[in-house]
Each structure stands twice: as structure tokens, then as C-alpha cells.
Amino acid sequence: MHTETTDRPDPQVTTADPLVTGIHDRWSDQGLPGGPWPFMAICAVGRLHQIMTRALETELKKHGLGRTGYFLLTTLALTTSGRARLSTLGRIMMMHPTSVKLTVDQLEAAGLAARSPHPHDRRATLVEITDAGRETVGAVNLALGGPDSELAALDGLHRELFEAVQPARLAAGDLDL
């Protein structure tokens, strides 16, 4: 049986944390059933998501990219050949095919990606990252980890953050690429 419903927060955690002072310390006083930890975890992950999303969008704006374009280009850059079928991109990115096509349209217009017919399947279209696309994605990635980034406060914590969240993601069944 989990004891997390009554556990006190780690004393190393500052009492200035609003999740501790505003939720944990008031939970039982307000007569709420169960424990505060599930709600606090949701709040913590949600707040961190907002912080990271805001930082990402600030950097992407400097490079003329949107989040979907950035993820699509990075996905292409991670493939062995730098290209993938439109349908594969939709599956990997969990996006509707129309959204993938619209994003590719924007990236193609900006010279960051290019379409070509599949050499063996006339029904399929390949999308390939261009050299300019690689340069742009590289610049964004460097900037996100840089000392002037809005994520600079997380410097040295990126791996720890991933490793802290990974067991929860996997336990929840997040096993697809």
C-alpha cells in the first residue's frame, strides 16, 4: 500500500513552493479525500510543460518556425536518410494527415523541406529535410540549451528531468514512437 497520501514533502524542498504551501499543506485541513500527490504531480508537470513550451515557442519564433514544423524537421533529421513518407510522419507525430501536409507546405515554402515521389510506391510521397532545414533545427537546438535560453535555469537538469519522468510515461503505456 502506498503511503504517499500522508507523506510530508521532502524537507529539502523549499517551503516557498506554491504546490507545497498551497496544496499539500492545506489538503487535509480542507477535508479533501485521498491524498494530494496525484493532484500535485499533475500540477507540477502541467506547470513545467507551460514553462518549457513558452521557452520553445520563444526560440522558434526567432527562427520563423512553429512547434509542429520544429518537431517534423527534427523527426526527419533523426531518420537515417533524412526523409520519410508523409503517412509515417503522421503516425510518428500522432497528427492527422491533413495537418502533416499543411506543415510540410509551410516548411517547403520556407525551403526547409522538400517533397518527392516515392521511388517504389506511386501512391506515396516522401518528405526530406533540406540543408537549410538541418541548419535551422540545429540552431534551435543549440539555442534551447544555451546560456541565454529561457530554459537556462534547467541547465544540467535536462537528462535528470527526462529520467525522472520516463518511468511514469512508460508505466502509463507511452511506448509508441
- Give pLDDT tens digits for 111-148: 999 999 888 888 888 999 999 999 999 999 999 888 88
Q: What is the DSSP letter of 2?
A: -
DSSP labels for 109-164? HTTSEEEEE-SS-TT-EEEEE-HHHHHHHHHHHHHHTSTTSTTGGGTTTHHHHHHH
CB 80 within 8 A of CB 172: no
Residue 174: how many CB atoms within 10 A of its CB? 10
Among 11-25, 71-85, 111-125, name the one with the lowest average pLDDT.
11-25
Rounded CA-CA distance 25/108 in Å is 52
pTM for the whole structure: 0.79
Rounded CA-CA distance 33/120 in Å is 60
For the domain 67-141, what is the CATH code? 1.10.10.10
pLDDT tens readout for residues 2-15: 444 446 655 555 55
CB 113 within 8 A of CB 125: no
CB 154 within 8 A of CB 161: yes
Show the 3-state SS of 71-118. Answer: HHHHHHHHCCCCEEEHHHHHHHHCCCHHHHHHHHHHHHHCCCEEEEEC
pLDDT of residue 2: 47
CB 76 within 8 A of CB 113: yes
pLDDT tens readout for residues 90-120: 888 888 989 999 999 999 999 999 999 888 8
